[in-house]
Amino acid sequence: MNLVFEHVTLGQRIIFGTGAAAENLATEVGRLEKNRVMVIAAPSQAALAREVTRGIPVAVHHSDVAQHVPFANAREARAIAGRNDIDLLVCIGGGSTTGLAKAIALTTGLPIVALPTTYSGSEATNVWGLTESGRKTTGIDNKVLPVSVIYDAALTFSLPVKLSIASGLNGIAHCVDSMWAPRTDPINQTLAVEGIRALSAGLTTIKNDPSDVLGREQALYGAYLSAVAFASAGSGLHHKICHVLGGAYNMPHAETHAVLLPHVLAFNAPAAPEATARIVRAFETSTATAGLASLYARLDAPRALKEYGFREESVPGAAELIMGAVPKSNPRTVTETELRNLLFAAYSGTVPTA
């Protein structure tokens, strides 16, 4: 078959090195010639943020971070940036922290330097999200893409093993969704295969030995690849489901992605044989669902939405909301009944089969 596709690679500077975050950040701020920095970090990361930013000109430390980026939080953070004549945003944390920096950049155009402490991958995408009145709105804008990302495995040691696993599985969900998302192409599918391999190996190592630096480096590397693939390919069915559940039911981001992934993979895999074959090669197993199931067993991964506050009676309403967001490019036709069945299985923790 002839290759016919259009691919966009986002421009971004990546600096990778364990134990070098403070030094690399100071170098980047100097290179960008900025002198009024707004540092964004959740209260749990405050001490880490002050240590890492000791060598840069910080004008404001901001810690009002919440998951799914409530619009009220974004509005206040934008106002603070304006009052303090901020010329650079530095975010230190996971997806919620990066998301708040993106919300500020969306309206101000301020550049972002991101220092991830999880495997969410938000730092490598131009996707933003805001939540208001129980609805999560997402969009794409190159203004929100961090100009630089500083990866340092030492910054992830404060992340508990269970949350590391959920966060890394969110990265694998980026990879799987990239196989059949609206703008998928052979380049981001190839990145996704390597992302699955790196994340699977890295997460397994973290589970067995949380102090292993090499495992955490592999997980960060895989998270970056997964995000680059996702940024190019766009949001598939998996992410549309999770965005609805996050916005409407305030579900925890990483755990929701981890729980839903096996169900969406089992649903779509039979209808996308070429993409599924790539996933099989990444897992080096007989089937894609078997590969993912084996990984979940090794990691003792999150299994059921009911364990994270989702209620069974919410399934019909959630399915109705999701139907309005299903990508037309999904390899399998989706009905509301099938969505209900998928959500019921995810709610209860039933092991899916293709």
**pLDDT for the residue 185:** 95
**Domain end position, chosen among 123, 156, 189:** 156
Residue type, 298: R
Q: Are residues 106 and 217 in the same domain?
A: no
**pLDDT for the residue 3:** 87
Residue 2 covered by a domain: no
> Alpha helix locations (H) across 84-185?
95-108, 161-178
- Residues with Cβ within 8 Å of 68's Cβ and at least 6 positions away in sequence, in order, are 96, 99, 129, 131, 136, 246, 247, 250, 253
**pLDDT for the residue 8:** 85
DSSP letter for 70, please.
B
For 338, the domain range is 161-348
Which CA distances in Å does 209 have to 23, 161, 203, 299? 27, 9, 10, 12
Q: Are residues 182 and 328 in the same domain?
A: yes
What is the distance between the alpha carbons of residues 169 and 164, in angstroms, rounded to a whole number?
A: 9
**Domain end position, chosen among 108, 134, 156:** 156
Residue 70 covered by a domain: yes
For the segment 88-107, what is each residue's pLDDT rounded down to a tens digit?
Answer: 999 999 999 999 999 999 99
DSSP letter for 5, please.
-
pLDDT over 80 at 1, yes or no? no
Q: Are residues 288 and 341 in the same domain?
A: yes
Residue 228 covered by a domain: yes
Q: Which SS3 state, helix, strand or coil, does residue 309 take?
A: coil
Residue 1 covered by a domain: no
Structure tokens at 40: 């964004």
Q: What is the CATH number of the domain that holds 195?
A: 1.20.1090.10
For the segment 206-265, what is each residue's pLDDT rounded down to a tens digit?
Answer: 999 999 999 999 999 999 999 999 999 999 999 999 999 998 999 999 999 999 999 999
Q: Are residues 75 and 220 in the same domain?
A: no
Q: Are residues 285 and 177 in the same domain?
A: yes
Domain count, the chain: 2
pLDDT over 70 at 26, yes or no? yes
Q: Are residues 186 and 265 in the same domain?
A: yes
Residue 5 covered by a domain: no
**Domain end position, chosen among 125, 156, 187:** 156
DSSP letters for 16-45 = E-TT-HHHHHHHHHHHHT---EEEE--GGG
Residue 3 covered by a domain: no
